[in-house]
Amino acid sequence: MSLDRKQRAGKSVTLIEGFKESIEDIEALAKQLKAKCATGGTVKDRKIEIQGDHRVKIELFLGQLGYKIKRVGG
């Protein structure tokens, strides 16, 4: 699973990709992440996009859930 920050329409988004779970599980995880980060987000093409730069918070949360994270792009 990789964690990256990208620009979408001039705004930062945190992009999480590399899921092997079902789309329902990915959407449930996205809902948890949006609540954890207190921001909006979406699931597109089996990738989670969270509004804003929340890489540290998301990395810690996913680590607690047992996911192995690889940071991309610094």
Looking up residue 7, the CATH number of its domain turns out to be: 3.30.780.10
User: How is the beta sheet containing 47-51 ordered, strand by strand?
Assistant: 41-44, 47-51, 11-17, 2-8, 70-71
Model confidence pLDDT, tens digit, residues 40-68 = 999 999 999 999 999 999 999 999 999 99
Mean pLDDT, range 4-32, rounded to an integer: 92
* pTM passes above 0.85: yes
Domain with 61 in it: 2-65
Instruction: Say whether pLDDT at 74 is over 80.
Output: no
Residue showing tokens 């990208």: 6
Any domain includes 72: no
Q: What is the 3-state secondary structure of 25-59?
A: HHHHHHHHHHHHHCCCEEEECCEEEEECCCHHHHH
Q: How many CB atoms neighbour CB 24 within 10 A?
A: 8
Q: What value, to the nearest 5°, has the Cα angle with vertex 66 and ends 62 and 70?
A: 60
Count structural domains, the chain.
1
